[in-house]
Amino acid sequence: MIIWPSDYATAYTLAAAVERQGVGLHSGANCRVRLQPGRREGYWVGWLADPEEGLRRLEPSLVADTRLCTALRLGQRQLATVEHLLAALAGTGVSHAELWVEGGEIPLLDGSALPWVEAIAEAGLVPLGPRQLRSLPGPITCQQGESFAVALPSDQPRFSAAVEYPQAAIGRQVFSLTLTPEAFVAELAPARTFGFLEQVEQLRELGLIQGGALDNALVCDGDRWLNPPLRYADEPVRHKLLDLLGDLALVGLPQAQVFAYRGSHGLHTALAAALEPAPDQANPLPSVCP
Known catalytic membership, residue 84: no
Strand partners, 261: 148, 162
Rank residues 105 and 243 by Cβ distance to Zn ion and give the closer one.
243
**Which x/- pattern, by CB under 5 A, does the window 186-225 give for Zn ion?**
-------x--------------------------------
Distance (Å, whole) CA 249 – CA 246: 5
Which of these ranges, 9-17, 57-65, 120-128, 185-193, lies near Zn ion under the rule CB under 5 A?
185-193
Cβ neighbours of residue 178 under 8 Å, at least 6 residues apart?
A: 156, 157, 158
Rounded least distance, CB 39 to Zn ion, Å: 29
Rank residues 101 and 189 by Cβ distance to Zn ion and give the closer one.
189
Rounded least distance, CB 191 to Zn ion, Å: 9
Give the three-state DSSP class for 119: helix
Rank residues 152 and 230 by Cβ distance to Zn ion and give the closer one.
230
Rounded least distance, CB 49 to Zn ion, Å: 26
Exposure of 137 by Cβ count < 10 A (0-12 exposed, 13-18 middle, 19+ buried)?
A: exposed
Q: Does 243 bind Zn ion (CB under 5 A)?
A: yes
Rounded least distance, CB 239 to Zn ion, Å: 6
Residue 120: what are its φ and ψ, rounded to 5°?
A: -65, -40
Strand-strand pairing, 63-65 and 10-14: unpaired
Q: Does 257 bind Zn ion (CB under 5 A)?
A: no
List 84, 239, 265, 268, catalytic entry: 265
Distance (Å, whole) CA 80 – CA 69: 7
Which residues have a catalytic role annotated? 265
